[in-house]
Amino acid sequence: MRPMVNIERHGDLAVVVVDNPPVNALSNALRRELLGAINAVIADGHLRSAVIACAGRTFIAGADIREFDLPPGEVITNDICAALDASPKPFVAALHGTALGGGFEIALACHARIMAPDGMVGLPESRIGLIPGAGGTQRVPRLAGAMAALEMVTSGRHVGAAEAVKLGLVDEIATDLRHQAKVRAHALAEAGHWRVVSRLEVPACDRAAFDATLAAVRKRARGAVAPVAAGEAVGWALDLPFAEGLARERAKAVALRGSPQCKALRHIFHAERRAARMPESAGRAPAAWPMKHIGVIGGGTMGSGIAIALLEAGYKVTLVETGINTAAAAEARIRSVHARQMGAGRLTAAAVEDRLRRLSYSYHYGRLKDADLVIEAIIEELPAKQAVFRALSDAVRRDCILASNTSRLDINRLADMVDAPERVVGLHFFSPAHVMRLLEIVRGDRTLPEVLATALELAGRMKKQPVIAGVCDGFIGNRILGRWWAQCDFALEDGAYPEQVDAALEGYGFAMGPYAVADLAGLDIAWAGRKAGAATRDPKARDVKIIDWLCEMGRFGQKTGSGWYIHQGRGKVVDPVVHGLVERASAERGIARRAVPAEEIVARSLAAMVNEGAKLLAEGIALRPSDIDVVLVHGYGYPAWRGGPMHEADRIGLKVILETVRRMEADGPDFAPAPLLLEMVAAGRNFASLNV
């Protein structure tokens, strides 16, 4: 095998080059070779200094996550950092691309860091249930201060070059990266002294402010262990000598590595990548069609958000509205979002100007004649959407992809309206579309593989998390949501109140309970869906009418000041009127109300999700269980540290889930046990076995 680390000699300076495509992941084998190269440089009497650099598009982008279930290798990242700490010769890190996790920890142990202008550094371990384990929580506070380190390691965010210099994490930015790194290494050797980060003192810190910030992290974590542990580890840098803090950090990292939360987050990590893959089509990988000009039909909240996301991805966008007033309203929405982004420092005036140059407004479909893709984002009514598709069929090129941002309607019935139905696809964005990562890509019965491939490429450009779904009412996410929400409503009739259901699910890890979410979204939306589906509702199914009564009273949620709760400013208050309606629902069904424990609410919710997920898999609507997990985590607030409902079901045991489902059968045919779930329990299999 070719070496992954090479030493280039430039007189009395060495450049240690890491070359482990595609992202120079810090595998066991790479760690061995890198430590060997560092020790070889140190032992070579002709060499006075060294640069550590990487081939390819990035510096070391972190650990090889595929090895996390294996025992640690004989060389760990701490060994490399210790060798750099003790080195009698200066080492300079030349950072380009992304220097993350263990890669950034190695750079921190070097004696200077030079960074490319577009480089990024970060310690994202908390996102996969870990904390840095090679000194990240101990060295960053010594360079950037404890407060900056606390924010960085608990969020796991990436830090750009300019901010990294400002924080003191890197020494300079250079376009001629390796040259400048060599200059810096030579200068340090000539000077005969250099900084060893582990020997620095942590700058003075307001400990009360630090503790208050850590308490806020604990509250936001909602049960996630890693962000809190990472923050506590930064606190050790304030209280302990470096060696003791490092030892405690390492022990905590090792303990977390085998924890259920770390395994769940690693599951989501791999699930995201599986979901973004194009399914094989007749043994070939179809090519995406080129995309430059994209049209958006409808400039409401969703259409404007989609337009913003497309502009951010670099596309030319034409937004089509019905007239001058609605176009002006769409423009105001887009400018408002840009203004907020500029105010938060996430966008420059030059970037806004560039986006607006690529954005135009129109009232006529004729402006879309050269569009490569058109996304319809109007009201969720099938006849209105069909009319749009019928008109677009005559206005655009025959190879222009036509997409609908529907959340539940039949894509095939939209495809019937156009002369090339194979180019129709669903693109279900989640609101706000410029913020939410999830994108359900809905394949119709006639959708070309090339159209699916183009949609996946579009998602990548927009930095969205795609999941391919088949056609059914609600696709993956909203279909599962319907069953889950029904069980919450049944819990109300059985004896719970809305605030108790919300508290149970928030205690499980959701950011908001279902009734708080409903008030935020607007009850009238769900009410319209209920009325539209009334004619096809199974008369044998249990049907809770509380939402109808609320809407008939004009209580549509936050927008009207009341819904499931009374809303005062940013707070919400439990309303005795709602309690009365809940009790009325129980009485009309003849149910003697009882206390419904939080554990039961969670168990019923989870079982409803898993049972419906099993049906979606059997029907081919979802390609694999992990796709369902990705949808629920990224689109519906399911706690990522639990890994999604299908992963959680495996952890609990499918037999336990089935027992809960059987107790729900009396609620109607929608809650009959899924045949696939029955088969898997009988065979002793789990959902993970289907994740291919």
Mean pLDDT of 82-92: 98
Mind listing the pLDDT tens digit for each residue in 310-326?
999 999 999 999 999 99
pLDDT of residue 582: 98
Is there a contact between 29 and 108 (Cβ–Cβ < 8 Å)?
no
Q: E strands of 238-341, at which residues?
A: 293-297, 316-320
The bridge status of strand 120-122 relative to strand 172-173 is unpaired
pLDDT of residue 282: 57
DSSP type of residue 290:
P
pLDDT bracket for residue 60 (50, 70, 90): very high
Check whether the bond before 514 is cis (ω within 30° of 0): no
Q: To the nearest whole percent, how much of the chain has pLDDT over 90?
A: 92
pLDDT of residue 285: 80
One-letter amino acid for residue 383 of the chain: P
pLDDT of residue 536: 78
Does the pLDDT at position 382 exceed 70?
yes
Does the pLDDT at position 535 exceed 80?
no
Mind listing the pLDDT tens digit for each residue in 401-434?
999 999 999 999 999 999 999 999 999 999 999 9
Neighbours of 213 (CB within 10 A): 18
Q: E strands of 215-353, at which residues?
A: 293-297, 316-320
pLDDT of residue 283: 65
Task: State both tokens at 609.
Answer: 């999700």
Sorted by sequence, the CB contacts under 8 Å of residue 58 that are 6+ apart come out as 23, 24, 96, 97, 98, 99
pLDDT of residue 428: 98
The residues with which 13 forms a beta bridge, in sequence order, are 10, 49
Does the pLDDT at position 50 exceed 60?
yes
Sorted by sequence, the CB contacts under 8 Å of residue 618 that are 6+ apart come out as 674, 675, 676
For 578, counting Cβ atoms within 10 Å of its Cβ (0-12 exposed, 13-18 middle, 19+ buried), the class is buried
pLDDT of residue 462: 97
pLDDT of residue 71: 81
Does the pLDDT at position 471 exceed 60?
yes
The residues with which 557 forms a beta bridge, in sequence order, are 562
Mind listing the pLDDT tens digit for each residue in 483-521?
999 999 999 999 999 999 999 999 999 999 999 999 998
Task: State both tokens at 442.
Answer: 């809905």
pLDDT of residue 279: 87
- Tell me the domains of the chain and their CATH numbers: 5-258 (3.90.226.10), 293-474 (3.40.50.720), 478-690 (1.10.1040.50)
pTM of the model: 0.93
The rounded distance, in Å, linking the Cα atoms of 199 and 109 is 11
Is there a contact between 181 and 53 (Cβ–Cβ < 8 Å)?
yes
Task: State both tokens at 660.
Answer: 């809960």
Sorted by sequence, the CB contacts under 8 Å of residue 573 that are 6+ apart come out as 565, 566, 567
Q: Over the chain, what is the mean pLDDT?
A: 95
Mean pLDDT of 604-633: 98
Is there a contact between 181 and 9 (Cβ–Cβ < 8 Å)?
no
Mean pLDDT of 439-457: 97
pLDDT of residue 527: 87
pLDDT bracket for residue 569 (50, 70, 90): confident
Does the pLDDT at position 103 exceed 90?
yes
What is the b/e burial string over 78-112, where b = at least 16 CB atoms within 10 angstroms of the residue's CB?
Answer: bbbbbbbbebebbbbbbbbbbbbbbbbbbbbbbbb
The rounded distance, in Å, linking the Cα atoms of 179 and 185 is 10
DSSP type of residue 587:
H
pLDDT bracket for residue 294 (50, 70, 90): very high
What DSSP string runs through 430-494? -SSTTT--EEEEEE-TT--HHHHHHHHHHHHHTT-EEEEE-SSTTTTHHHHHHHHHHHHHHHHHH
* Sign of the four-CA dihedral 529, 532, 538, 539: positive
